Chains A and B, each alone.
Chain A
Amino acid sequence: MSTIDVFYQGEGFREIEFLAVEPTATFGAVKALIVEKHGLDESVLIFLEDEDEPVAELVIIGDIVDTFGIKAHLHKCRHIAVTVTFNGETVSHSFSPSKTIAAIKTWAAETKFGMTKEEASEHVLQIAGSHDRPTAGTHIGQLAKCPSCHLALDLVPDQRVNGAPSGGN
């Protein structure tokens, strides 16, 4: 049987990382490989993308693999306190570090600020006090460090590219 692709993010990682493992490997074994590869603290927890709780380390990778392989996250914090501000109003909630920016935007824009799906698609999340707009697939744990475990975001309109001259050559 072929290996399984594990795409993972983590606290302080600059980008998505990758590992190929045997389908019989447990999450505990995968965590140990990643801890060794990156020199992480052994107390880190391993999560599946967008899941609320860490995955049990005895679970076998091959039992839950999906089309893309496995998307995982490693973080020392079990929860990240997230605030999202829009039009002067701030909402807050705690999420697991493996929640994606896409999931946070859906929660903030549609659930809390009452936007339609289409209206939400015209907005993006931006890290407060910066111009950084993490991509939809970014895990919030990549942006929040232990022990503060906090992430402040602004929900802002995605601008139209303006200043268009009538033509170019």
Chain B
Amino acid sequence: MAPDERAFRADVERPTFRLGQLAGRWRLSTIEWPYIQIGVTAKDEREFVLRFNCAGFPQSPPTAGPWDPELNQILAFDKWPRGQGGRLSAVFRPEWKGGSALYVPCDRESIIGHENWAVEMPAKIWKPAAGICHYLEIVHELLNCRDYAELLRPAA
């Protein structure tokens, strides 16, 4: 097993990851190195699966985008989490990198060309010691923030 895969598998054994999983905040689905599928729960209890590419973990940041596990492809854009023009909308951008990466500072693909983020939002820059939970905390917070548009349910 390569060092990056070994490091990732150790990371998801840490209590912080396990506690998040027990609390229903996220759920490890599959590991097909370097691709990892993890579901993240939104405030309306919908689960959005992200497919991470974790090559080089943890020194190299991961990159991730919404994924359709059944079709094994990027999630259809009309099924992406919807925002109302605020913080979530700024991150879940189907046009960004063809939908393969979230527009967040802790994402390997998105940080390229955005060195200003290190100064403007240092709390969201990838931190190898914090591991995959750092990325998951940011996504979970967004899926539970005011900007997230909840799924409309039919009246009872």
What residues of chain A have their CB less than 8 Å away from a CB belonging to chain B? 5, 7, 15-18, 67-69, 71, 118-119, 121-122, 124, 126, 131-133, 135-137, 158-164, 166-169
Residues of the B chain whose Cβ atoms lie less than 8 Å from the Cβ of A121 = 144-146
Of all chain A residues, the one with the shortest Cβ separation from B98 is A169
Whether the pair B93, A18 counts as a contact (CB closer than 8 A) is: no
Overall SS of chain A's interface: loop
Assuming the contacts A164-B103, A167-B95, asked whether A118 and B123 have C-beta atoms less than 8 A apart, the reply is: no
B22 interface hit (Cβ, 8 Å): yes
* Chain B residues bordering chain A, tally (CB within 8 A): 36
Of all chain A residues, the one with the shortest Cβ separation from B137 is A135
Assuming the contacts A164-B93, A169-B97, A169-B98, asked whether A159 and B121 have C-beta atoms less than 8 A apart, the reply is: yes
Task: Report which of A122, A137, A161 forms a contact with B105, defined as CB distance below 8 A.
Answer: A161
Whether the pair B146, A161 counts as a contact (CB closer than 8 A) is: no
**Once the chains are docked, how many angstroms separate the CA of A71 from the CA of B19?**
10
Assuming the contacts A159-B121, A161-B91, A161-B104, asked whether A68 and B22 have C-beta atoms less than 8 A apart, the reply is: yes
Residues of the B chain whose Cβ atoms lie less than 8 Å from the Cβ of A168 = 95-98, 101, 109-110
Residues of the B chain whose Cβ atoms lie less than 8 Å from the Cβ of A126 = 123
Of all chain B residues, the one with the shortest Cβ separation from A9 is B15
Of all chain B residues, the one with the shortest Cβ separation from A67 is B22
**Once the chains are docked, how many angstroms separate the CA of A121 from the CA of B144?**
9
Whether the pair A69, B121 counts as a contact (CB closer than 8 A) is: no
What residues of chain B have their CB less than 8 Å away from a CB belonging to chain A? 14-16, 18-19, 22-23, 86-87, 90-91, 93, 95-98, 101, 103-105, 109-110, 114, 116-117, 120-124, 133, 137, 141, 144-146
Of all chain B residues, the one with the shortest Cβ separation from A124 is B123
Nearest-CB distance from A119 to chain B (Å)? Answer: 8
Residues of the A chain whose Cβ atoms lie less than 8 Å from the Cβ of B90 = 160-162, 164
**Once the chains are docked, how many angstroms separate the CA of A121 from the CA of B95?**
27
Of all chain A residues, the one with the shortest Cβ separation from B134 is A135
Nearest-CB distance from A159 to chain B (Å)? Answer: 5
Whether the pair A17, B15 counts as a contact (CB closer than 8 A) is: yes
What 6 A-B pairs have minimum CB-CB distances, sorted nearest first?
Answer: A18-B15, A131-B122, A16-B15, A133-B123, A168-B97, A118-B146
Of all chain A residues, the one with the shortest Cβ separation from B94 is A167
Q: Which of A5, A136, A162, A164 has the most CB of B within 10 A?
A: A164
Query: 14 A-B residue contacts at CB 8 Å?
Result: A18-B15, A121-B144, A121-B146, A131-B123, A132-B123, A135-B137, A159-B121, A160-B86, A161-B105, A163-B114, A164-B90, A166-B95, A167-B95, A168-B97
Whether the pair B19, A137 counts as a contact (CB closer than 8 A) is: yes
**Once the chains are docked, how many angstroms separate the CA of A130 from the CA of B87?**
23
Whether the pair A122, B15 counts as a contact (CB closer than 8 A) is: no
Of all chain A residues, the one with the shortest Cβ separation from B89 is A160
Whether the pair A69, B22 counts as a contact (CB closer than 8 A) is: yes
Residues of the A chain whose Cβ atoms lie less than 8 Å from the Cβ of B137 = 135
Q: Which of A121, A161, A167 has the most CB of B within 10 A?
A: A161
**Once the chains are docked, how many angstroms separate the CA of A162 from the CA of B104?**
10
